[in-house]
Amino acid sequence: MAGSAGYNRMFPVSWTELHRDARALAWRLADLGPFKGLVAITRGGLVPAAIVARELNLRLIDTICCSTYDRMERGAKVELLKGTSAEQDKGAGWLIVDDLVDTGVTARAVRAMLPEAHFATVYAKPAGRPVVDSYVTEVSQDTWILFPWDQEAVMAKTIIVKCYVIPAPKGIDSLTLAERPDPTPGPRQVLVRVMATSLNYRDLLTIEAQYARSAPKPDLIPLSDGAGEVVAVGPGVSRVKVGDRVAGCFMQRWFGGAISDSAMPSAMGGAVDGMLTELAVLEEEGVVKLPAHLSYEEGATLPCAAVTAWHALVEIGHLKAGDVVQIQGTGGVSIFALQFARMFGARVIGTSSSPAKAERLIQMGAEAVIDYKTTPDWDKEALKLTGGRGADITVEVGGAGTLPRSFTATRLGGSIAVIGLLSGMATLDPMPILRRNLKVQGLYVGSTQMFEAMNRAIEANGLKPVIDRVFPFAEAQAAYRHLKSQKHFGKIVISHA
């Protein structure tokens, strides 16, 4: 059987270990392809074969089910290969995955019938179940087993994960494609196969060494925002399971309540590695399940911008129907704030210097959009639009260049959520805060519990994030450049598929 490999693990394992083994097998076999398709020999579960097919992006062409040990002992299941697509080609270019116990019998029979096929097996032995004798003679206990023809070559293959790193933050060109060993989740951690990521302005500041909070760790994997599928879980995990569709939380250790000193050093894509990678190990309490109606690309837009907007409006502003919300520009936070405000029945006034983008905001439900270039005193115009009262909640993303006008545009006793510093930093006069009795609060994204509450609202209302453009994984630098151009409307996404 030229180029074939068999694989097994001969002690009781959990479903988590089975998924990990099947994924590891697929990645080890990847270089033997490309394959025409996959044929599964199974007792009916199809779990290992399905995982291998998914990891290798193969079609599951034929399924052969054997329901009794008698048939397995006789090797009769191999007879069922006759008539399959694989037999027509004598197995050439086909992968056959077996999750049954008589591996030795099957391997010999497959080699005789389909000499050009690749054969592999993943087996989880349930505790207390008898093992067929013919299988026991082929393997030994407590070890990885491969059949002799490819054992050295296949086991020598190290499973490698592709990721992007920032060796030193010197601009977008410093984003570097790298390889790292396959990660393993520890206690109360989960392993996520990342399917999509999205960019925030913070990511641009980080790669250009302009991020004010702290210098990034060396060889940082960037991007805080990503979504994917749980492919393995560590000991003690109960909140999610293998197969769940999840997004990572911006801060891996802020589950709920007020932000703490321990949460701050857990911000992904800055203090700790982020999501621009094929596989990411995340804390159990640092992931949330995605709303069922969202794709991975849409789910990847949520962790930073959406949670920040939710925190500003709901947690700080106590948003309710009829309130007036003032937003600035058309970045991710502002657009999510518009969507959430309209979802709650609030009125929205925006600002933008682009007529095309202003029209998009109107189409999404904004009551009015002020051009801050032609109307520099946009705060006075906002007062006029609210009958001299001002906004109940202002989502402040500009910083020193816009904050004084936000003081004026917000009603007496209103709330200003200070999120960004897009227009820079400067010394500010605090008198308007005192005179107008304003509640001005800074915020840094939000907790896992805020994320979960937001997702419930998103799912109940069928809200869809606005995506400007999706870039392939290989064009990550181009995604950064598109963000820097400021030509986007909505979120910029990178697909890892």
CB-hemisphere CA count at 13 Å for 154? 27
Is 98 noted as a catalytic residue in this protein? yes
90 contacts 112 by C-beta, under 8 angstroms = no
Annotated catalytic residue, options 21, 62, 89, 102? 102
Q: Is 356 helix (H, G, I), strand (E, B) or coil?
A: helix
401 contacts 365 by C-beta, under 8 angstroms = no
373 contacts 351 by C-beta, under 8 angstroms = no
CA 432 to chain centre: 42
Cβ contacts of 190 within 8 Å, gap of 6 or more:
230, 232, 233, 234, 237, 240, 246, 281, 282, 283, 284, 287
Q: Which among 104, 125, 151, 105 has a CA at the least distance from the CA of 4?
A: 151
Secondary structure of 224-281 in HEC code, one letter for each residue: CEEEEEEEEECCCCCCCCCCCEEEECCECCCCCCCCCCCCHHHEECCCECCCCECEEE
Annotated catalytic residue, options 62, 99, 203, 273? 99
Residue with tokens 């006759």: 82
Annotated catalytic residue, options 21, 62, 98, 244? 98
Burial class for 269, CB neighbours closer than 10 Å (0-12, 13-18, 19+): buried
Residue with tokens 């197995």: 91
29 contacts 5 by C-beta, under 8 angstroms = yes
d(CA 377, CA 459): 38
Residue with tokens 């869809």: 464
For the chain, the straight-line distance linking the first and the last C-alpha, in angstroms and rounded, comes to: 32
Is 133 noted as a catalytic residue in this protein? no
**In this structure, what is the dihedral angle of CA atoms 14, 16, 21, 24, given to the nearest 10 degrees?**
-170
Q: Which among 234, 417, 221 has a CA at the least distance from the CA of 333?
A: 417
**In this structure, what is the dihedral angle of CA atoms 424, 426, 432, 438, given to the nearest 10 degrees?**
50
d(CA 247, CA 291): 10
Q: Is 202 helix (H, G, I), strand (E, B) or coil?
A: helix
Is 379 noted as a catalytic residue in this protein? no
What amino acid positions are annotated as catalytic residues? 98-99, 102
